[in-house]
Amino acid sequence: MATKQIPYKIYLSEEEIPRYWYNVKAHMKNEHPPFLNPATMKPCTKEELCQVFCEECVDQELNEKDEKIEIPEGIRDFYKMFRPSPLIRAYYLEKLLDTPAEIYYKFEGNNTSGSHKLNSAAAQAYYAKKQGLKSITTETGAGQWGTALAMASAFYGLHLDVYMVKVSAEQKPHRKEVIRTYGANVIPSPSDTTEAGRKILREFPGTGGSLGCAISEAVEKAVTSDSCRYVLGSVLDHVLLHQSIIGMESKIAMDKYGVKPDIIIGCMGGGSNFGGLIAPFMGDKLDGKNDIDFIGVEPASCPSVTRGKYVYDFCDSAKITPLAKMYTLGCGFMPSASHAGGLRYHGMSPVVSQLCHDGYLRAVSAEQTKVFDAAVMFAKCEGILPAPESSHAIRVAIDEALKCKAEGKKKTILFGLTGTGYFDMAAYKQYNDGTMSDYIPTDADLQKGFESIPKCPANEGLI
């Protein structure tokens, strides 16, 4: 226990909850290329995006100049129910690893959704209500996003339809029930309630579904109604913006104790938690004020960045969304059902993709059983049962701390503990029973996914 004066948990006061989100795009050297309308291959207009998303979210999505974007009072009221979240010094993990490294984690799981997802759910539900909408739709994979949005919808008084990835709905019937308890309607995806769902069911009968196809269904449901919009839990710039509160609070708390991170680690599915955690630190790095090693961790079973291509691709499997320039395995890539929990998305946030492409952050991948080794080690010494998703970050934090030990270097590591694993006990049971396996796609598996990437002019020479 090197620095006795730093408490185990650092809580900010409610007055210290940031009043602004941090828009890292205001600092980026190269903005990511714009969304393209697949019909015209031209950049999407605000009007086009507003048919799918709430107007205020579209404004935020397109904002490349303002570093600070105000958090409305109505959202801050909701945030007070679970924020500020604690920044925890992992004293017991450090001791167990016998490492000279100092390890901190920002814990976002102390709320009923069990995750960081509530940060954006609150914002998006608030803006939908403000715009006079009656209902919203969304997809959910591991169920954390669906729970978060159900909580926010109950609070602000909106109807919510949740398309839940079928394999997750089956693996996690209790997660589904939490969503129902908050008053939302849960539909396992692919379903026969949409054209997109019916098409996927015809092409892949018996599929366990994917985030991509659940997105297709939710978007279709939204665009076919006037008083309804679609709400996305990751990937998009405005979601990363809302998640920047994680990084803002972390930075305020670390500044308060004079701690400067050398390494920041987050797990990556769509990239929103990682993008949010690193945002203000990355802004400083882009301004030449630090040289932090930013590491995004993805599952080896769905290696969007580490083995994907940086091209324009659809955000969904049914090819109805705009095209985004991002690291992708191809919108037709279907991750193995053997991988537990979330992080099963074929693409990656365009902001995170661009920053990675420009060399400001790096991606690594981790295998499932090694991730659960880390999860159980962490649970036993730090007390918190982590979500499988979050445990990807724990795995790499432990690896980096052991590297410090081997090299005799004292580094400060910060990682995002995005959520709890209370609804992932079927996966933990597999691990406890010794029946969990790793799945790593072959090059041939990946090639099949790459074939679904659109052969548009913007991708010439890239695929």
> How many other C-beta atoms lie within 10 A of the C-beta of residue 321?
23
Q: How far is the CB of 15 from a second copy (least distance, A)?
A: 8
Q: Which residues pair with 189 in a beta bridge?
A: 165
- Nearest-approach distance from CB 154 to a second copy, in angstroms: 4
Nearest to 146, CA basis, from 218, 83, 236, 237: 218
Q: Which residues pair with 309 in a beta bridge?
A: 328
- To a second copy, the closest distance from the beta carbon of 13 in angstroms equals 7
Q: To the nearest whole angstrom, how small is the minimum distance from the Cβ of residue 259 to a second copy?
A: 17
Q: For residue 308, give the DSSP letter.
A: S
Closest distance to a second copy from the beta carbon of 84 (Å):
9
Q: Which token pair is 367?
A: 């295998």
Which three-class secondary structure state does DSSP give residue 264? strand
Q: Compare residues 11 and 310 and give the one whose CB is closer to a second copy.
A: 11
CB closer to a second copy, 79 vs 312: 79
| Measured distance CA(378)–CA(90) in Å, rounded | 9
Nearer to a second copy, 86 or 299 (CB): 86
H or E element that contains 198:
helix 195-203
Choice between 342 and 421, CB closer to a second copy? 421
Q: What is the CA radius of gyration of the chain?
A: 20
Whole-number minimum distance, CB 92 to a second copy, in Å? 8
**Residue 185 or 290 with smaller CB distance to a second copy:** 185
- Which residue's CB is nearer to a second copy, number 4 or number 65? 4
Which residue's CB is nearer to a second copy, number 235 or number 387? 387
Which of 71, 324 has the CB closer to a second copy? 71
Q: Say if CB 245 and CB 279 are below 8 A apart.
A: no
The Cα 128–Cα 228 span in angstroms is: 9
**Could you give the CA distance from residue 244 to residue 247 in angstroms, rounded to a whole number?**
5
Please name the residues in contact with 72: beta carbons below 8 A apart, sequence gap of 6 or more: 126
CB of 128 to a second copy, least distance (A): 17
Query: Which of 217/382 has CB closer to a second copy?
Result: 382
Which alpha helices (H) appear in 287-409, and where do they start and end? 350-357, 368-382, 388-407
Cα 300 → chain centroid = 16
Nearer to a second copy, 172 or 339 (CB): 172
* Strand 9-10 versus strand 87-89 pairing type: antiparallel
Give the span between the Cα atoms of 172 and 167, in whole angstroms.
Answer: 8
- Give the nearest distance from C-beta 175 to a second copy in angstroms: 8
First to last CA, the chain: 51
User: What is the C-alpha to C-alpha distance for residues 213 and 164, in angstroms, rounded to an integer?
Assistant: 10
State in angstroms the smallest separation of the CB of 461 from a second copy.
49
Coil, helix or strand for 131? coil
Which tokens in the block code for residue 238? Answer: 């405005």
Distance of closest approach, residue 231 Cβ to a second copy, in angstroms: 18
Residues at the site binding a second copy, with contacts judged by CB under 8 A: 7-9, 11, 13-14, 80-82, 92, 110-112, 114, 151, 154-155, 173-175, 177-178, 180-183, 376, 379-385, 420, 422-423, 425-426, 428-429, 431-432
